[in-house]
Structure 1
Amino acid sequence: MKLYEFIVNPQARSGLGMLTWNTLEPELKKRRSDYRLYLTERKKHAEKIAAQITADGQEHCIVVLGGDGTVNEVINGILDPGKVTLGYIPIGSSNDFARGLKLPVPAEKALEAILNPEGVVQIDLGVLEKNGERRRFAVSAGVGFDAAVCHEVCVSRWKRILNRFGMGKLTYAVVALDRLIKDKPVRMTIRTDDGTEKTFERTYFAAFMNLPFEGGGFKFCPEASPKDGMLDVVVAHDLTPLKILFLLPLALLGKHTGFREVTIFRCRRAGIFTEKPLALHTDGEPEFPRKAVAMEISGERLSVIGGTKAAANRKIS
């Protein structure tokens, strides 16, 4: 019988994590599923738990109950992604990992898809590199405005308030309006692995996408695929605050890509250089600001249990 290693963030979505687990565990017991439970207690604890689980070098099925940030911690703790099958029960504010892979969002349906899977999808993992340190990401990594929004969302009182009404993803929109006033565009140069160098004089942000969505449903790179060995890059530049306000709603639909102030391209690796340190994020999790970083597709792949035949590309034995 398969052993499921559940890593549960009880504080996800302002305490909904524990309530959700208490709802799902009776079903596991009813089915006599073989499982272990690990409850996270603090920031980065899920990373340590995943490292402990995978330290034996054996194959494991790890199920994450939490938000995109908890997934990010787990994939950074896994010692060998090739030996892990990941299940996901999304209860975060953004749920871009589930949205991008077409995984079921209601907790009961997500658990059912994990216990009776139609297949798995093998996804690429990206890496942000700074000062010799490497941080994996599954959804996206960003430099500038979008990362600054992620930083502020993590501590925003609006997130707690809106989560109570099931509207947590609106936090990103509220915080974005505030950051538009505070943040000024900067000069950014991006050098890609094919030798191309692009310089943008007035840049608000650059996002390096493994999946189409970030920030609670903004479809920044509609064609991004986690299976093509490439990062889709979107750069927002030479924009006025008013034009940004116009483009953000369009980005929810992926209809922003035709504007000259939005540049989209693909690469396997890129170096990013800015005139001053800018905020960074991996899957919405803040990283310390830097003037120079690198992004790449790592070559590692992770098997994720799919919820539909459209999302899955390999049967589970």
Structure 2
Amino acid sequence: MYHIIINPSSCTGKGIHTWHRIKGELDRQSVPYKSYLTTHFGHGRQLAEQICQASTEPVKLIIVGGDGTINEVINGIPDLDKVNIGYIPAGSSNDLGRSLGLSKDPLLNLNNILQCRQVRLMDVGVITGSDKKETRFLISSGAGYDASVCQEALKSSLKTFLNHLKLGKLTYILLAIKQIFAKPFMNGEVSADGGAFTEYHRILLITTMIQKYEGGGMKMAPDADPNDGLLSICMVHGLSKLLIFFLLPTLLFGKHTRFKGVETFHCRELAVRLSRPEVIHVDGECPGDMKEYKIICQHNELQLLQ
């Protein structure tokens, strides 16, 4: 039995059309399943929790939607060890699908899930703020510039318009250009793996990656490996806004890491203390502002049907 959570509104209606194709194939193959359509923000989390609590057997859970949908679902699962997850991308950015090399054909992804004989293990990031609340992420978490892009994209009518034209990824590019000049720099301190804090000024972003891509195809962490048990950190600091603007295209190809002012490293745990609360994103969703937070990598925590 497969449980399938679908976000029908993902990518301005792409989710429901993708689900209709998947449903037809499931019925054709006589695959047993139960389906659940999300109706509001946070509903995926609620559904995942209800499904897991009602089951005494290991759960096979398929998610149809975007990066935000799968983030909701994994945060609703009480125990990841008891769930095998299949993912069929149907969002506007689909950074997780891109990083994992998933097909753009939902039926091919479905059949790979149904025919899977051995799960793929994948790392999970966990961010904890001063309130001690833990939030999981599969792609990335960031403070500063990329979080501001995500926050504006979530409420932007431009994203809806471009999704209708099948140009949803262009949303992030346009907002990325705008936010270079709109987002103030940050100041703060960073510690890796319990070491001493290092102070930084004029910080554009502090991004923690599990996968290679975020923001609709920006190759923020070209060396990230979702199975190495490590967080891939990218910090940009001490650069002028004008120089950052000209460096922006290099993000598309992962070539930004060669420039002075772009600092990258790997660690199992990252602690950040900012001079003021800043918007934080997890997999493109923005749960709130944080001044201090810690991120850890849980090695091979997710069991992926692929």
The question of a shared fold, defined as TM-score above 0.5 by the shorter chain, is answered with yes
SS in structure 2 at match of 1:146: helix
Aligned partner letter, 1:234: C
Correspondence for 1:114: 113
Correspondence for 1:54: 52
SS in structure 2 at match of 1:12: coil
- Give how far 1:29 is off: 0.6
Kindly indicate whether the alpha-carbon contact (under 8 Å) linking 2:187 and 2:202 is maintained by their aligned counterparts in 1. yes
Kindly indicate whether the alpha-carbon contact (under 8 Å) linking 2:219 and 2:252 is maintained by their aligned counterparts in 1. yes
Q: Following superposition, which runs of at least 4 residues in structure 1 exceed 3 angstroms of deviation?
A: none
Please list every run of 5 or more consecutive structure 1 residues that lacks an aligned counterpart in the other structure. Answer: 307-317
Correspondence for 1:179: 179
- What is the correspondence of 1:160-175 to structure 2 with a 5 Å cutoff? 160-175=160-175
Correspondence for 1:214: 214
Kindly indicate whether the alpha-carbon contact (under 8 Å) linking 1:24 and 1:108 is maintained by their aligned counterparts in 2. yes
Q: Does 1:223 align with 2:223?
A: yes
Correspondence for 2:80: 81
SS in structure 1 at match of 2:128: strand
Q: Distance in 2 between matches of 1:26 and 1:213?
A: 31
Please list every run of 5 or more consecutive structure 2 residues that lacks an aligned counterpart in the other structure. Answer: none
- What is the correspondence of 1:84-95 to structure 2 with a 5 Å cutoff? 84-95=83-94
Kindly indicate whether the alpha-carbon contact (under 8 Å) linking 1:57 and 1:80 is maintained by their aligned counterparts in 2. no
SS in structure 1 at match of 2:11: helix
- Give how far 1:245 is off: 1.9
- What is the correspondence of 1:145-294 to structure 2 with a 5 Å cutoff? 145-294=145-294
Kindly indicate whether the alpha-carbon contact (under 8 Å) linking 2:142 and 2:208 is maintained by their aligned counterparts in 1. yes
- Give how far 1:196 is off: 3.9
Correspondence for 1:315: none
Correspondence for 1:45: 43
Q: Distance in 2 between matches of 1:57 and 1:279?
A: 39
Alignment RMSD (CA, Å): 1.3
User: CA offsets per residue over residues 39-80 of structure 1, 9 Å max, x none?
Assistant: 001001000111111113531111000000000001101111
Q: Distance in 2 between matches of 1:277 and 1:10?
A: 34
Q: Distance in 1 between matches of 2:19 and 2:178?
A: 35
Task: Give TM-score scaled by structure 1 length.
Answer: 0.93
Question: What is the identity percentage for the equivalent residue pairs of Structure 1 and Structure 2?
Answer: 37
Kindly indicate whether the alpha-carbon contact (under 8 Å) linking 1:141 and 1:209 is maintained by their aligned counterparts in 2. yes
User: CA offsets per residue over residues 130-185 of structure 1, 9 Å max, x none?
Assistant: 12111000111111110111011001111111111111011111111221222111
Correspondence for 1:35: 33
Correspondence for 1:302: 302
Pick from 22, 47, 54: which aligns with 2:20? Answer: 22
State the number of aligned residues: 304
Task: Give TM-score scaled by structure 2 length.
Answer: 0.96
Q: Distance in 2 between matches of 1:239 and 1:146?
A: 16
Q: Does 1:141 align with 2:141?
A: yes
Q: Distance in 2 between matches of 1:120 and 1:217?
A: 26
Kindly indicate whether the alpha-carbon contact (under 8 Å) linking 1:151 and 1:286 is maintained by their aligned counterparts in 2. yes
Correspondence for 2:64: 65
User: CA offsets per residue over residues 284-303 of structure 1, 9 Å max, x none?
Assistant: 11021111111111356111
SS in structure 1 at match of 2:168: coil
Kindly indicate whether the alpha-carbon contact (under 8 Å) linking 1:162 and 1:170 is maintained by their aligned counterparts in 2. yes
Q: Distance in 2 between matches of 1:137 and 1:95?
A: 14
Kindly indicate whether the alpha-carbon contact (under 8 Å) linking 1:81 and 1:300 is maintained by their aligned counterparts in 2. no
Q: Distance in 2 between matches of 1:57 and 1:272?
A: 39
Kindly indicate whether the alpha-carbon contact (under 8 Å) linking 1:145 and 1:279 is maintained by their aligned counterparts in 2. no
- Give how far 1:115 is off: 1.9
Pick from 4, 7, 27: which aligns with 1:6? Answer: 4
User: CA offsets per residue over residues 90-113 of structure 1, 9 Å max, x none?
Assistant: 011111111111122221221122
